[in-house]
């Protein structure tokens, strides 16, 4: 309510919601403005009355698509690099958490994020378990798996199968503070990989059905990121080969061998 009061005090003529998801869409609905535009993506759009398609190239980065909305009304964005800011209190919490877990600051720390809400971006729990086991047992690295509270049952499966793995179950802000302390982040193409990139942490991303450049603008994610990506003929904008009523069973776009992912992980850690 406090946020809404501040926004409504501005008397906006135009409100553009560049990422129209649940919270932001509900908030925009309550802001007083002459015009409101929700900018979203296929599958994620939920609240608009009218959908207008775009003539962007299929692999045009989402950041550029967002900025095109601003360019269309005469604005000239100067910087598109993502940033995240962590409070001193959050940093202190992360350091204390790692200390309690027995993390050795002289050894490399790898954070993995094994889960995703979309099957067509899921590299697979078994693959992450194998990878974590090799990083720990064969190469002596420390591996921390981060989970939200709703995925605690998955965290238990991981800890049962990888004896030396470290586990964190908690809030997103806590995970952000921990990622900032990592030497490498390994993830499906999901939120934590973008968090790591924004924090300038080395990031290895296991791409699935999405186009390579949509969520990973090549102008931004160059030096500290590596994307495992398969150029498959069945990929299309509407994910028609991935979703019900006849969802893909083979997931060839996610066929990234554990040994190859391990090799690239070690290369990034040794940079």
CB-based contacts of 164-170 (< 8 A; 24+ apart in sequence): 164/136, 164/137, 165/132, 165/136, 166/101, 166/103, 166/142, 168/97, 168/144
Q: How confident is the model at residue 223 (pLDDT cuts 50, 70, 90)?
A: confident
Mapped onto helix, strand or coil, the DSSP state of residue 184 is strand
CATH 3.40.50.2000 for domain 88-269, yes or no, is yes
Query: Could you tell me whether strands 142-147 and 166-169 are parallel, antiparallel, or unpaired per DSSP bridges?
Result: parallel
pLDDT (tens digit per residue) in 37-63? 887 765 555 555 666 566 667 678 888
pLDDT tens digits, one per residue of 140-164: 999 999 999 999 999 999 999 998 9
- The DSSP call for residue 215 is S
Rounded to whole angstroms, the Cα distance separating 203 from 224 reads 6
Q: Is the dihedral of CA 55, 59, 65, 68 positive or negative?
A: negative
**pLDDT at residue 35 is higher than 60:** yes
Q: Is 119 helix (H, G, I), strand (E, B) or coil?
A: helix
Categorize the per-residue pLDDT at 195 as very low, low, confident or very high, splitting at 50, 70 and 90: very high
The strands making up 225-228's β-sheet, listed across from edge to edge, are: 166-169, 142-147, 109-113, 184-188, 203-206, 225-228
Give the model confidence (pLDDT) of 87-113 as tens digits. Answer: 999 999 999 999 999 999 999 999 999
Q: What pLDDT is stored for residue 43 in this prediction?
A: 58
Residue 6: predicted pLDDT: 92
Q: Which residues make up the CATH 3.40.50.2000 domain(s) of the chain? A: 88-269
Average pLDDT in the chain: 88
Q: When comparing pLDDT for 42 and 256, which is higher?
A: 256
Q: What is the mean pLDDT of residues 219-241?
A: 82
Tell me the per-residue pLDDT of 7-16, one tens digit each, with 9 for 90 and over.
999 999 999 8
Question: How far apart, in whole angstroms, are the C-alpha atoms of residue 269 and residue 46?
Answer: 40
Q: Is omega for the bond preceding 127 within 30 degrees of 0, making it cis?
A: no
- 169 vs 191: CA distance, rounded Å: 16
Q: Is the pLDDT confidence value at 27 over 80?
A: yes
What DSSP element (H or E) covers 226? strand 225-228
Is 216:64 a contact under the CB 8 Å cutoff?
A: no
The confidence score (pLDDT) of residue 210 equals 83
Of 69-83, 133-147, 162-176, 256-270, the range with the lowest mean pLDDT is 69-83
Q: Which tokens go with 162?
A: 């990888």
What is the arithmetic mean of pLDDT over 60-74?
Answer: 84
Q: What is the per-residue pLDDT for 47?
A: 58
Per-residue burial over 64-81, b = 16 or more CB atoms within 10 Å of its CB, e = otherwise: bbbbeeeeeeeeeeeeee
Which of 27, 33, 34, 35 lies closest to 2, judged by CA? 27
Mean pLDDT of 245-260: 89
Q: Which of 98, 104, 156, 127 is nearest to 251 (CA)?
A: 127
The pLDDT, as a whole number, for residue 209 is 84
Are 39 and 16 a contacting pair, CB within 8 Å? yes
Q: What is the structure's pLDDT at 50?
A: 61
DSSP run (H or E) holding 13: strand 12-17
| Long-range pairs for 236-240: beta carbons < 8 A, 24 or more residues apart | 237/42, 237/58, 237/211, 238/42, 239/42, 239/43, 239/120, 239/209
């Amino acid at each position: 309510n406090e946020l809404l009061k501040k926004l409504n005090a501005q008397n906006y003529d135009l409100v553009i919601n560049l990422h129209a998801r649940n919270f932001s869409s509900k908030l925009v609905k309550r802001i007083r403005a002459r015009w409101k535009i929700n900018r979203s993506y296929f599958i994620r759009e939920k609240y608009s009355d009218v959908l207008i398609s775009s003539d962007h190239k299929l692999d045009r980065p989402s950041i550029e698509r967002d900025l095109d909305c601003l360019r269309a009304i005469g604005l000239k964005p100067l910087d598109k690099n993502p940033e995240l800011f962590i409070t001193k209190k959050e940093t202190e919490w992360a350091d204390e958490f790692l200390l309690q877990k027995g993390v050795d600051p002289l050894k490399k720390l790898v954070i993995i994020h094994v889960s995703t809400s979309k099957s067509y971006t899921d590299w697979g729990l078994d693959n992450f378990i194998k990878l974590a086991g090799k990083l720990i047992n064969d190469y002596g690295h420390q591996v921390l798996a981060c989970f939200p509270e709703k995925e605690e049952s998955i965290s238990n499966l991981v800890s049962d199968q990888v004896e030396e793995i470290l586990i964190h179950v908690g809030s997103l802000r806590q995970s952000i503070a921990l990622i900032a302390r990592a030497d490498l982040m390994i993830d499906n193409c999901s939120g934590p990989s973008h968090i790591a990139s924004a924090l300038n942490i080395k990031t290895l991303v296991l791409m699935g059905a999405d186009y390579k450049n949509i969520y990973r603008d090549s102008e931004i994610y160059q030096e500290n990121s590596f994307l495992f990506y398969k150029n498959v003929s069945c990929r299309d904008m509407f994910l028609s080969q991935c979703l019900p009523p006849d969802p893909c069973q083979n997931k060839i776009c996610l066929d990234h061998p554990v040994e190859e992912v391990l090799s690239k992980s070690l290369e990034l850690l040794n940079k």
